[in-house]
Amino acid sequence: MEENNEIREVAFENQGEVVLENTNIRIADDVIAVIAGAAASEVPGVSSMAGGFAGGISEVFSGKKNLAKGIKIEAGEKETKIDVNIIVEYGVRIPDVAFEIQNRVKRAVENMTGLRVVEVNVHVQGVNTDVNTETNEDTDSEE
């Protein structure tokens, strides 16, 4: 039998939209991680992404922000599972922040990659307790 290595495009209609599906495209896990990391880090209440020691060292030496820091991906051909590790700001309602992360990450990954996101697990690794000293000084001086 002869193998056919050419790219096949399949067009089908999905609620009035024509969707082209290319059967030979594979999106790297790192790409999915960057998309998820960017979406999660924009959520109000997220102080930073929690990565391992190696991720922090590489960020210092490269001078670039690692958007995939704190993200773990398990991707298949059509679906993916995402774990997000974060540090939250002190005083925020953690369930609300986690819910917003799940929504934004799922929407961003599905829209940009076409993969179905079956899980977004949010792991809170810590709380940033650095409180702005200016606000404390202002309240003390008014009394």
pLDDT in tens, 26-57: 889 999 999 999 999 999 999 999 876 555 55
Residue 110 lies in a domain: yes
Residue 31 lies in a domain: yes
Q: Which domain holds residue 32?
A: 26-142
CATH code where residue 82 lies: 3.30.70.1350
Residue 72 lies in a domain: yes
Residue 101 lies in a domain: yes
Q: pLDDT band at 77, cuts 50/70/90? A: confident
Helix (H/G/I), strand (E/B), else coil: 137: helix
11 pLDDT exceeds 50?
no
Residue 7 lies in a domain: no
Say how many domains are in the chain: 1
**Would you say 128 and 142 are in contact if contact means Cβ atoms under 8 Å apart?**
no
Nearest to 82 by CA among 66, 98, 59: 98
Tokens encoding 140: 């003390």
Position 60 scores a pLDDT of 56
Residue 62 lies in a domain: yes
Which amino acid belongs to residue 26? R
Residue 15 lies in a domain: no
Q: pLDDT band at 66, cuts 50/70/90? A: confident
Torsion sign over Cα 84, 89, 95, 100: negative
More confident residue, 18 or 95: 95
